[in-house]
Structure 1
C-alpha cells in the first residue's frame, strides 16, 4: 500500500509535465550551512558595532566574508522559496516541479557553494581578495511565459525574507562613528533600500493566485527588480566602498594585445581537428579509437567551419584574457566536459563577456554544442552556445550519424 501514493505522485507529475526535484532537494538540505553562516555574520556585525566600529573601519577580509555570506544567503533563499512554494501549491506532486522552476532554482543553487567557499576563505585568510568583479549580479532569470503561479509565490516569499535581513543589516550599518565624509554614501543606502522596498511592496500588492497575464508579468517584473536590488544593496552594506562607482575588485587581466587569433580552416595548414575538445579528452591515451572518427565526421558535415572556428576563437581569446575559465566545483576541481562529441569543456564566466554575439554574465556556465548527427537525414548542422546549469551523466556519447556507442565515465550535460 505504501507504494500507491508514490506511484500516484509520479503519475500526476508526468501528466503535468513536471521533472524530479531530487537535486533541488539536496541543495535545499545543504542550505543550513548558509543560514548558520548568515547568523554568525549578523552576530559579528552587531559585535563590531558595539565596539564602536563602522563598516568603513572593518578590515577587507571581514568585509569580504560579510559580502560572500550575503550572496550565498540570497541565492539559497530564492532557490528554497521557489521549491517550497511549488510544494505548497501542489502537495500531490511533492518531489517534482515544473521545468522552469527546476532550471531557475538550480541556477541560483549552483552559485551558493562558491560564495560559501569564498566566505570561509576570507574568514581564515586576512589577506584574501576576491577573484570576481563586484557588485555581483543575480543569475539570469528564465524567459518562459507564463511562469507558474507557484513560481511567483516563491519570488514574493523570497523578497519578504530577504527584505527582513536587509533591514537588519542596515540597522547594523548605521553608526554614530561614521565620518561626515560618508554621509552621502549613507543617503545612497537609504535611497537604494527605499527603491527595493517599493518594488517588493508593489509586487506583493499586485499578487493574487489568479491574475490576468499582463498583471502576472508585472508581478514577476517587480519581484525580480526587488530581489536584484536587495542582492546588490546587501553587498554594499558589507563593503561600502562599492558605493563609489570608481571602485572595482575586478582582477587585473593578463596582457592581451591585438584581435582574437583566427584559427586555421580544415583545408589550411595548421588546422587542429581537436581544437573544440576538452584537453583532458584530447590528451587521454585511453580514449577509444571511435573518438577520431566522430571528430572527423563533425568537420566533414560542417557546412560553414569558419563560423564554428570563429566561436572557438572567441572562447580562446576570453580564456587568454581571463574573462572565462574552466568551470570548477566548490572544491576547485574541474567539473569536466560536455557529454557529446566534440566533448567541449564547460566554462564559467569570470567577467562579463560577449562570445558568438551572446552577452554572458559573471558566474554563468556554458559550453559549445556542435553536432552533425541530423545532417545525413536532411537535418541541420547544430552549432551554438549552451548556457545553463550542467549536471553529471554517466555516458559519453559520440553524437554521430552512424554510431550510438557510449562510454561510461564522468561527463556533464545541461540541465533541463
Structure 2
C-alpha cells in the first residue's frame, strides 16, 4: 500500500540512513500491467492445452510471449516483495528504504519493462521474433553482509508467489501421449522444480527467531538458488526447445571472450571475492591494500582469471552452487562452493558433495614459493578468522 511518509517517519529514515522509495513506488505502480499480462498468458496456455497442443508444437510467437511474460512477472514480484517486506518490518518509515534495498529493487525493476514490452509485441504481432538470447539470468544480487532479514522474508514470499504459477505451467507438460523422447525432458523440468521447491522450503524452516550471521547466509543462498531455478524453469516451460541447447557450445563462446586484465580499464580487483562480502572488504583499508598487492604480485593474471572463469561457468550451468557457509578466510576471500555434478576446474576433478574454494595467494613468494592459484578441496566451516595474506605486510591476521 502506498503511503506518504509523515515528518516523524522522514526523520527516523534520515537517522537510519534510509533513502526515498518514491522511484521504486513508481516502478511498482507501473508494473501492475505485468500481472494482467500474466493472466492473459496463462489463458493462452490453457487454450493450447484444451486443444491438445503439444507444448513443443506451440507457435514460436506464443512461446516468446510466454517466456517474456514470465521473466517480467518474476522480476516484478521480487521487487514488489522487497518493498512490502521492508515496510512491514518498519511501518514508521514507509516511503523510505535502506540503500541496499533500493539498489536491489532497482536492479530488478529496470529489467521488467523490456520483457513486458517484448511480451506485448509478441501478443500483437504474429510475425514477432525474439531479439534476446535466452534463457536469461537474473540480475546480479547486491552484496550485503549479513543479508537484511526483510530481504530474506521478501525472497521467501517471492518463491511462494511464483511457485503456484510454475506448477500450473508444469501441469501442461504432464499429459498423456507425449512421445518417449519428450518424457525425459518432462522429468528434467520436474527435477528443476523440485530443487527450487526444496531449497525454498528448507530456507523457510531455518527462518525463525534470532539467527546468527552464518544462518542468514545459508538461507540467502538457498533462496537465491530457488529463485534462479524458478526463473530458468519458467523460461524452459515457455520455450521447451531450450532444453535441447548444448551448454558446452555456450561455454566455448564464453571462453573465447577477451579477459579483462588488471592493466585494462574497468578491471574489477574484487572479481575473485565472494560477491556477498565485497562491501565489507572494500570498506577495509587493509583488505584494499592486500587485494592491490595480490594482483601486483601475480605473474600470470590471465591464467588466474581463466580458472575463475571456469568456476563462474560451472556455477551458471548448475555444476556447482554456493555452499551457504560464507567465504574462505584468506584474501581474496573467495566463495565456498559445493559440487552438484562431476566437473573439472583448474585441472582438479571434483565430485558431487565435495566443497572447494579458489585459493589465490602470493604469501609464499617471499620464501621462494611460486604464486598460488589452487582449486582447494576441503571441509569448510564458518569462521570469524581473517587473513590478509599480504606478503608485503607483516600484519597478516586479524
TM-score (norm 2): 0.62
Instruction: Provide closer, same or farther for how the CA distance between residues 209 and 28 of structure 1 changes in structure 2, counting only shifts above 3 A.
Output: farther
Aligned-residue offset at 1:177: 4.1
**Contact 1:75-1:112 within 8 A present in 2 as well:** yes
Residue correspondence of structure 1 range 387-398 to structure 2 within 5 A: none
Partner residue of 1:216? Answer: 216
Q: Is the 8 A contact 1:100 1:147 kept in 2?
A: no
Partners of 2:48 and 2:208 in 1: CA distance: 42
Matches within 5 A, 1:12-411: 12-246=12-246, 310-311=264-265
User: What 5-or-longer segments of structure 1 have no aligned partner?
Assistant: 261-305, 315-355, 362-416
Give the number of the structure whose alpha-carbon radius of gyration is greater: 1
Residue 175 of structure 1 and its aligned partner are, at CA, apart by 2.4
Residue 167 of structure 1 deviates from its aligned partner by 0.7
Structure 1 residues 62, 213: closer, same or farther in 2, change over 3 A? same
Name the one with the larger helix percent: 2
**How many aligned positions are there?**
264
How many angstroms apart in 2 are the aligned matches of 1:94 and 1:6?
A: 9
The 2-side partners of 1:134 and 1:180 are apart by: 26
CA gap 1:207/1:63 in 2 versus in 1, 3 angstroms: same
CA offsets per residue over residues 346-404 of structure 1, 9 Å max, x none? Answer: xxxxxxxxxx999899xxxxxxxxxxxxxxxxxxxxxxxxxxxxxxxxxxxxxxxxxxx
Distance 1:259 1:236, change over 3 A: closer
Query: Alpha carbons of 1:180 and 1:259: their partners in 2 closer, same or farther (altered >3 Å)?
Result: closer
CA distance in 2, matches of 1:66, 1:248: 26
1:10-43 deviation per Cα after TM superposition (whole angstroms, max 9, x unaligned): 1000111111101111111112100000001111
Distance 1:172 1:24 in 2: 35
Output the aligned Cα RMSD. 2.9
Which structure 2 segments of 5+ residues have no match? Answer: 268-304, 314-398
1:311, CA displacement in angstroms? Answer: 3.2
Contact 1:241 1:247 (8 Å CA) reproduced: no
Which runs of 4 or more aligned residues in structure 1 lie more than 3 Å from their structure 2 counterparts after TM superposition?
247-250, 257-260, 356-361
Distance 1:5 1:122, change over 3 A: closer
Distance 2:135 2:60 in 1: 15
The answer to whether the Cα contact below 8 Å between 2:185 and 2:243 also exists between their aligned partners in 1 is yes
